Structures are given as C-alpha cells and as structure tokens.
C-alpha cells in the first residue's frame, strides 16, 4: 500500500493543483493532501485553514482515495504521522525548479526514507498560480476555469 502526500499552501486551490492531485491519486493507492498552515511566505493567507481544507474536500469528493489534512509541522514529520512514503509536488515553469529542488534536497536530508516525486503541470496550467488567481480576482477579472467552481464563488464572496 503506497500512500503519498501532496503538500502545499493552497491559498486557494487552483485547477493546476487539482490536476496534480487527480494524477497522483491515479499513481498511488492513497493520497493525503497536506494543507500547510503557516507557509514561509510574506503576508498571511487570504483563506483560513478551514476554508482551504473545505475547498479541497469539495473539489476532490469524486476521488475515493484522497483525504485532506492541515499540518503545521515539518513536512517529513507530517509524512511520518500519516504513514506516507512519497511527497508529490507539481512542477510548472523553470522558475519552480530551484525552490522545489532545494526543498526536495532538504527533505531528503531530514528523512531519506521519504521520496519526492515531481509531476509536470500540463501546458494549460504551467503559468497558473494561487497568487496570480488572487491578483486577477482582486482586480475584478474572471477566474472561471483557473480554479474549481467552489473557489470561484468563495473568491467573489471574499473580495466583493
Ligand atoms: O504551496 P507551497 O507554498 O509551494 O507549499 C510549500 C510547502 C507547504 C510544501 C512547504 O513550505 C513545506 O513543506 N512546509 C512545511 C515546513 C517544512 O517542512 N519545511 C522544510 C522543507 S524545506
């Protein structure tokens, strides 16, 4: 039984994240989506931990082998806690490489039993990010298709 983690800040979940979760769920027996409470990024998240978890639960309700958990520890400790042996990350453009390789190397240094696997974003989602989605929504642009429907509604409620 292979269990993997798809970790992230998911502020909010995008269609690109969802695509990676769906493809990871097809590769491994079980996927735990790990929602990081306090990612090391400037400013606080737009959506609370509960909201971010709820969006992912709603958008992945068709996937019986996917569950969602919030975490506020080292990723390798969270992996240990949920008994996962693989970390799955999505890779978009070249700009992701340096940060992702650094995290993978440090996670390997912290716990070499846990493998990091990368899944390439499909071309449609290569330049999609949560921050771009928030910027478009803040300026009144349409984010339909870039995020699951549950997030489209939440963004318009939050930013109106
Ligand atoms: O969606 P993001 O912001 O790219 O996700 C980053 C995340 C949450 C995967 C990363 O910040 C993380 O793993 N945080 C947990 C703390 C940790 O283990 N840090 C050391 C990894 S180098």
pLDDT single digits (tens) 27-46:
999 999 999 997 556 678 99
CA of 68 to the centre of ligand 1 (A): 16
| pTM given for the model | 0.96
Q: Which of 52, 89, 92, 134 is catalytic?
A: 92
Q: What is the DSSP string of 95-121?
A: HHHHHHHHHHHHHHHH-TTSEEEEEEP
Answer for the pair 20, 88: CB distance below 8 angstroms, yes or no. yes
pLDDT of residue 39: 59
The 10s digit of each residue's pLDDT in 90-143 is 999 887 899 999 999 999 999 999 999 999 999 999 999 999 999 999 999 999
Measured CA to CA, the distance from residue 98 to residue 96 in angstroms comes to 6
130 touches ligand 1 (CB under 6 Å): no
Answer for the pair 105, 76: CB distance below 8 angstroms, yes or no. no
Mean local confidence (pLDDT), 48-76: 98
pLDDT of residue 101: 95
CA of 104 to the centre of ligand 1 (A): 10
């Amino acid at each position: 039984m292979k269990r993997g983690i798809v970790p992230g800040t998911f502020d909010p979940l995008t269609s690109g994240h969802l695509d990676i979760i769906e493809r990871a769920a097809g590769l491994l027996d079980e996927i735990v989506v790990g929602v990081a409470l306090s990612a090391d990024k400037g400013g606080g998240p737009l959506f609370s931990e509960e909201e971010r978890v709820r969006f992912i639960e709603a958008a992945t309700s068709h996937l019986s082998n996917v569950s969602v958990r919030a975490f506020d520890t080292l990723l390798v400790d969270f992996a240990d806690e949920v008994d996962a042996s693989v970390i799955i990350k999505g890779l978009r453009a070249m700009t992701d490489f340096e940060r992702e390789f650094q995290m993978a190397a440090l996670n390997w240094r912290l716990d070499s039993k846990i493998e990091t696997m990368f899944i390439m974003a499909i071309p449609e989602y290569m330049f999609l990010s949560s921050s771009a989605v928030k910027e478009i929504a803040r300026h009144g642009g349409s984010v339909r298709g870039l995020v699951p429907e549950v997030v489209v509604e939440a963004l318009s409620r939050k930013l109106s």
